Structure formats: structure tokens, C-alpha cells
């Protein structure tokens, strides 16, 4: 597991057009609701889940009061104070609601970790404040059923299995604990794709030409970069989002890439810290492997193969400090840029990674995905459930139909997308 200094050489390209960043200063807007409603609820849930001492509870009270006012800097002794100062864009000292939503949301979680003593010398050092929620979800009956279903999926033809695993990884992104705790209720909402580049995704993966589902007649696979039609991709990066029942299908997808598609190497990027409420960390990867091993059946077989892949170096786990940065990937440091550039394909999972990939900005929804990701150093794909207001690469007729429903289709988690830029 590797770490890196994200301050070295961001090499930020100039975008041809930057629409306004989303702020949190419009009462009733989605970013406003997150800061004004969701974050206070989350603080109280964290407080109730762990019997913290009086010092932590006072710090949580102070954070509750602060987020309605001015953004305070990290303490003088904070180990990463210099790092966060390099990530600041003049927002510290301003109102929380006046900072870009992406920046403010990220900094809130860094401050929450400080409040619960995660970095301090006391008894709560290194204790994941979200562990009670992660464990309850990972050990739940729904996960039992999900793991049993792997026995059925294993018997499917390659093309069907590939498509099923793709959709499971995508809709697994609905398993966002913050979204469940303080977000919209999803019961009764039927999920649907608003963009589907899965054929192009699997053509880039390669390894089994019979496993490319629904290749359009106009797609010439030989024109696609990478190893499509000539064996599995040499190297794929998968940037994870949430732990638990989202990370499980991600790991199953990785096993399929390695075991069935012959991908030479998969690099799994996770967070170095328990960032956001359910973000995946190296510890969560291990917890999922143990969960699959205990389940037996195909889940146990997958866990065994992944353990072997970790041992042989075909599966690498990395936790780069920039994974917790409040900045878009356009500002990624040189080392991380090199990692993605060396991959045949990078797969970005989840809503937060999507916001960081295209920029958390008010893009016209028909802006081409390739335009918004033109800076990215290699082929990139995204599997994402829509839970925030940013979206690009959508067909104009699809956008009109969704907007005609009158529902907040961008933020309910009822829609998803698969987008690829070769």
C-alpha cells in the first residue's frame, strides 16, 4: 500500500471552459441541505454510536456551532496543516456556505476526524468514527443475500456475467451510509440508466471478445485503444468509493477482471483515512475479504483468489493522500497522474469521484463527457449513481424527459450512468 505527497507538481491544465462551481449559499439547494441539515445529523449520529469522553463531545459541539459560521483553520499542531494550507484556495476564514461545495464538504470531514480525536494522542487515536455503521451494514442480512447470489452469477455466460457485475458495482453505489442516514428515501424508486457506455467499457477491458455485451454495430473495436480483442488489459486502476456492500461488488468485479478476463494487474485506490461516512479504506478491503471468506461458496472462492492476487502482486492496494483532497482530479499531483497514465483503463466509482473527475460545476448536462475529462491522462470510465447536481454527457432528449417529470432526478439516487472516454 503506497502513499504520496500530493503537493508535488499538480501540472493543472487550463480548461477550455469552466462553468461556476457549486456553492452552498442558496437556501433549499442540494449543497445547502447537505451543510445545513445532513452534517449536523451526521455529527449527532457519530456522537451516539461511540461513548466518547467529555473532551470529544465538547469538540463536536464546537464543530456544530462552527459550521453555521466561519471556516476555522486546523490547529497549529495538526500533522497535515501544511498540506491543507496548500489545498486551501482562500476559503479558510470565510463562511462555510460561501466556499465551493466540494471543498467545504471535504474539509468538514477532516474537521470531524479532528473533533473525535482520530489524530490525537488520546484513546480515540486511529479509531474509525464510522466503524459502527460500516460493520452493521456489512454484517446485515442484505449482504448475506448478495453474497449467495454470486453462486448464480458464476454460472452465467461471460457476456451476461460481465454486464451483471457492472450493474451490481454501479448500483452498489446506492449503499452510501451518509445518503441513507440523511438523504432521500429510495424505497419504491426504480433505478434506471441515463447513459450506458458499458459496451465500450468492456471493449477496453478486452480479454474475452464474447464477453463484450451489446456492442453497437457501428463500433469498430479495433479502433479502441488498449488490449481489446487481443487479450486482457495490461493494467486497470479502480478508484473505489464506499465500503461495505458497495466495495463487495467492486471486489467481485476486480476478481472477474483478473480471473476471467486476464487483466495483468489491477490497482485498487482507496482512502488512507475513514473519510466521509462510508468511504473505503485498506481496513475496509480486509473486512470485505473476511466477510466473503466466511460466506463460503462462490464468495469464498472470490476471496481466496483475491488474497492470492494480493500476495502475487497482481492486485495492488494504494491509499494516496490526494484521495482525501477537497480538489478535482484536474489538480492531481504528478505521481498520481503517472499512475493513471500507465493504466489501460481507470474506472472511477461513485458520486464523489465523479464530481472530482468532471469538476463539481454547473455544467450543461449535454456537455460531452470527453470534453469534461479531456485533461485525464488515460482512458477513463465512471460507474456512478446520481446523488448530486453535476452531470455531463447526457443526451438532450433524455435530459428533457427527466426534467419533465418534475422530480429531483439528479439527487435521489434513482438514476445511474456508465460513461467512458477511451
Cα 97 to Cα 100: distance, rounded to the nearest angstrom:
8
Q: Which of 112-121, 125-134, 214-223, 313-322 has the lowest mean pLDDT?
A: 214-223
Residue 155 clears pLDDT 70, i.e. is over it: yes
State the pLDDT confidence band at 312, using cuts at 50, 70 and 90: very high
Cα 78 to Cα 131: distance, rounded to the nearest angstrom:
23
Mean pLDDT in residue range 225-250? 81
User: How far apart, in Å, do the first and last CA atoms of the chain sit?
Assistant: 28
Q: Which of 29-43, 134-148, 200-214, 377-391 has the lowest mean pLDDT?
A: 200-214
Q: Is the dihedral of CA 275, 279, 282, 286 positive or negative?
A: positive
State the pLDDT confidence band at 68, using cuts at 50, 70 and 90: very high
* Whole-number pLDDT of residue 297: 97
Cα 139 to Cα 160: distance, rounded to the nearest angstrom:
28
| Contact call for residues 363 and 392 (beta carbons, < 8 A) | yes
Residue 236 clears pLDDT 80, i.e. is over it: yes
Q: Which of 9-23, 153-167, 370-384 has the lowest mean pLDDT?
A: 9-23
Mean pLDDT in residue range 370-397? 96
Nearest to residue 163, comparing CAs of 131, 123, 198?
198
State the pLDDT confidence band at 18, using cuts at 50, 70 and 90: confident
Cα 155 to Cα 299: distance, rounded to the nearest angstrom:
13
Residue 207 clears pLDDT 90, i.e. is over it: no
In SS3 terms, the chain reads as: CCCCCCCCCCCCCCCCCCCCECECCCCCCHHHHHHHHHHHHHHHHHHHHCCCCHHHHHHHHHHHHHCCCECCCCCCCCCCHHHHHHHCCCCCCCEHHHCEHHHHHHHHHHHHHHHCCCCCCCCCCCCCCCHHHHHHHHCCHHHHHHHHHHHHHCCCCHHHHHHHHHHHHHHHHHCCHHHHHHCCCCCCCCCEEEEECHHHHHHHHECCHHHCCCCCCCCCHHHCCCCCCCCECCEEEEECCECHHHHHHHHHHHHHHHHHCCCCEEEEECCCCCCCCCECCHHHHHHHHHHHHHHCHHHHHHHHHHHHHHHHCCEEEECCHHHHCCCCHHHCCHHHHHHHHCCCEEEEEHHHHHHHHHCCECCCCCCCHHHHCCCCCCCEEEEEECCCCCCCCCCHHHHHHHHHCCCCCCCCCCEEEEEEEC
Mean pLDDT in residue range 354-379? 97
State the pLDDT confidence band at 284, using cuts at 50, 70 and 90: very high
Nearest to residue 183, comparing CAs of 411, 384, 414, 351?
411
| Contact call for residues 343 and 235 (beta carbons, < 8 A) | yes
* Whole-number pLDDT of residue 374: 96
Mean pLDDT in residue range 67-77? 96
* Whole-number pLDDT of residue 238: 98
| Span 349-363, pLDDT tens digits | 999 999 999 999 999
State the pLDDT confidence band at 289, using cuts at 50, 70 and 90: very high
Residues 6+ apart with CB under 8 A from 121: none
Task: Compute how many other C-beta atoms are within 10 angstroms of the C-beta atom of residue 305.
Answer: 16
Mean pLDDT in residue range 32-46? 96
* Whole-number pLDDT of residue 15: 47
* Whole-number pLDDT of residue 17: 63
Amino acid at each position: 500500500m503506497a502513499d504520496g505527497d500530493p503537493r508535488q507538481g499538480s501540472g493543472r491544465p487550463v480548461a477550455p471552459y469552466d462553468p461556476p462551481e457549486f456553492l452552498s449559499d442558496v437556501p433549499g439547494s442540494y449543497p445547502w441541505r447537505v451543510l445545513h441539515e445532513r452534517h449536523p445529523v451526521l455529527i449527532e449520529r457519530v456522537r451516539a454510536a461511540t461513548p466518547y469522553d467529555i473532551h470529544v463531545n465538547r469538540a463536536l459541539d464546537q464543530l456544530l456551532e462552527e459550521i453555521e459560521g466561519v471556516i476555522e483553520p486546523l490547529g497549529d499542531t495538526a500533522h497535515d496543516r501544511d498540506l491543507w494550507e496548500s489545498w486551501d484556495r482562500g476559503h479558510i476564514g470565510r463562511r462555510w456556505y460561501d466556499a465551493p461545495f466540494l471543498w467545504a464538504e471535504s474539509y468538514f470531514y477532516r474537521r470531524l476526524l479532528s473533533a473525535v480525536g482520530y489524530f490525537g494522542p488520546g484513546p480515540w487515536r486511529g479509531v474509525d468514527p464510522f466503524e459502527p455503521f460500516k460493520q452493521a451494514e456489512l454484517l446485515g442480512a442484505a449482504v448475506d443475500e448478495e453474497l449467495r447470489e454470486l453462486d448464480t452469477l458464476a454460472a452465467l455466460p461471460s457476456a451476461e456475467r460481465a454486464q451483471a457485475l457492472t450493474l451490481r458495482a454501479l448500483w452498489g453505489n446506492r449503499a452510501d451510509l451518509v445518503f441513507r442516514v440523511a438523504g432521500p428515501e429510495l424505497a419504491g424508486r426504480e433505478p434506471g440508466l441515463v447513459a450506458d457506455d458499458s459496451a465500450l467499457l468492456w471493449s477496453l477491458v478486452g480479454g474475452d471478445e464474447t464477453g463484450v455485451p451489446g456492442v453497437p454495430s457501428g463500433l469498430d473495436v479495433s479502433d479502441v485503444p488498449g488490449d481489446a480483442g487481443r487479450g486482457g488489459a495490461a493494467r486497470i486502476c479502480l478508484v473505489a468509493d464506499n465500503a461495505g456492500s458497495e466495495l463487495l461488488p467492486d471486489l467481485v468485479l476486480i476478481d472477474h477482471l483478473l480471473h476471467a478476463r486476464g487483466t495483468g494487474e489491477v490497482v485498487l485506490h482507496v482512502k488512507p483515512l475513514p473519510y466521509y461516512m462510508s468511504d473505503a479504506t485498506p481496513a475496509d478491503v480486509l473486512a470485505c475479504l473476511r466477510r466473503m471468506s466466511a460466506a463460503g461458496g462462490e464468495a469464498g472462492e472470490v476471496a481466496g483468489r483475491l488474497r492470492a492476487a494480493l500476495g502475487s502482486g497482481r492486485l495492488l492496494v494504494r491509499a494516496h493522500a490526494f484521495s482525501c483532497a477537497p480538489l478535482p482530479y484536474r489538480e492531481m499531483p504528478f505521481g498520481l497522474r503517472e499512475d493513471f497514465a500507465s493504466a489501460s483503463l481507470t474506472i472511477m466509482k461513485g458520486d464523489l469521484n465523479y464530481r472530482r473527475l468532471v469538476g463539481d460545476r454547473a455544467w450543461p448536462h449535454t456537455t460531452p463527457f470527453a470534453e469534461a475529462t479531456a485533461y485525464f491522462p488515460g482512458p477513463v470510465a465512471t460507474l456512478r449513481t446520481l446523488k448530486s447536481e453535476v452531470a455531463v454527457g447526457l443526451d438532450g432528449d433524455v435530459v428533457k424527459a427527466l426534467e419533465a417529470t418534475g422530480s429531483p432526478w439528479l439527487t435521489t439516487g434513482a438514476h445511474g450512468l456508465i460513461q467512458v472516454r477511451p
